[in-house]
Amino acid sequence: LNSPNCLCSCCLLRLKTQNITPVHNRSDSVSALLSDFQPSFAALPDRCAGIEFDAITPDEQGNTFFFKGGHLWKGFHGPAQPSNEIFKKLHDIHPLGHVDAAFRMHNAENPDDHDHIYFFVDDKVVRFYDQSLEDGYPKEMTEEFPGVPTHLDAAVECPKTECMTNTVLFFKGQDVYFYDLATKTVKTKTWSHLPQCTSAFRWLEHYYCFHGHNFTRFHPVSGEVTGNYPKDARNYFMKCPNFGHGGDRTVPKCSEVKLDAISTDDTGKTYFFAGSTYMRLDTSRDGLHGFPITRSWKELTNGVDAVFSYIDKIYLMKDDKVYIYKADAHYTLIEGYPKSLKEELGIEGHVDAAFLCPNEHTVHIIQGGRMRDVDLTATPRAITNDVPLPPHLSDIDAGLCGPDGVKVFKGSQFYLYESPKILATGRIIVEPQKITSAMMGCQD
């Protein structure tokens, strides 16, 4: 097989299938073969060289795909590959496999649509689930998304917890088309202050407009840009030599984790706080990542001591103050706050932890070796019950009450109790459990 004669025979076969007239000189034949094969050996695109992506979207498993021409990258590191190796039949819609825009649908009220991926090519739209093209596609844009223009630049989903209603944002030039999934109506805004987005991406409740090899973070309702932008995507959304924004920061070991607070709000968002950062725990499908607390609660510049949620509001305590935010699409500090703990909750002194059980109106506040209960329906609010905690529960860091009971965290471990009453009065010492990577995104 390695003989020159075999090589030339292969040359002739290859040239015939390509309708290329073979030359008779053997060296010329080899040259023709290599020239004919050149496209097959063309270098794969390198996103670390600085690429303007055509589209970015996660799939139903939380894998993020970056598209350029007929190629894609899966995840935040690794080489490119032909996009039709994963999304088969995608190249049938466009001969080069190019897509204009893509997004993962968020429409929990419609399970047949939720988490499906939409791709837009010229005036057509296709839908994939589990990397398979669904029956009935491609469709005309006017049929699937009436009122939205064709030949889009970008698209991104926006859940009702962040855009008031389940919405898709479509970008074309400087215009943004807000498509309401429930009413199938379109509202148009012009965001001339935002760079022209060639792709858009929602990641961990944050929205990013990609342009060139840069990105700009924006508010999905107003388009407002806060902070120092644009930024180079290679420093944040991919692992590239000589790029990066975190220095030598590594994921902490689970044995080193120490929480300041943890809470779940009425929309099901679970946050944990440590130092100056917070992390969403219910977004683990799309990745766990720490953000500065000031990104969502800009007044909390020095971390928090304790946090709990109650009736569409989140209470964040620091020193002798409590900050109350309305849990809209984005957290907004209620006018008149912060207030003192004494004025708002009828307590004084440092708070170690606080938690509220689902559908209840009593917040349990841990201070040192005591648990104090405050009825949130009372006016004025005051302590209604004050009990000592077992000795091994002194110096608690954080607490959370959910369907499985009460978790109180101490260092890298937590104790699980059936109820606040058993926590306070139980005589049996519960064995501590270790914080795991599945819980906090740390290293086991």
Residue type at 190 in one-letter notation:
T
> Which of 285, 282, 305, 310 has the alpha carbon at shortest distance from 293?
305
Tally the C-alpha atoms within 13 A of residue 227's C-alpha that lie toward its C-beta.
15
Alpha helices in 145-226 (DSSP H): 160-163
Q: Locate the DSSP E strands across 193-343.
A: 199-203, 206-211, 214-218, 231-232, 261-264, 270-274, 277-280, 290-292, 306-310, 313-318, 321-327, 331-333, 339-340
Is 151 within any annotated ligand binding site? no
289 is in an annotated binding site: yes
**Strand 186-190 to 306-310 pairing:** unpaired
- SS3 of 395-429: CCCEEEEECCEEEEEECCEEEEECCHHHHHHCCCC
Longest CA span, the chain: 100
Three-state SS at 274: strand
For residue 342, give the H/E element and its range: helix 341-345
What does DSSP say about strands 270-274 and 261-264: parallel, antiparallel, or unpaired? antiparallel
How far apart are alpha carbons 271 and 99 in whole angstroms? 35
The two three-digit tokens of residue 89, written as one number: 């039949």
Q: Which residues are annotated as a binding site for heme?
A: 245, 289
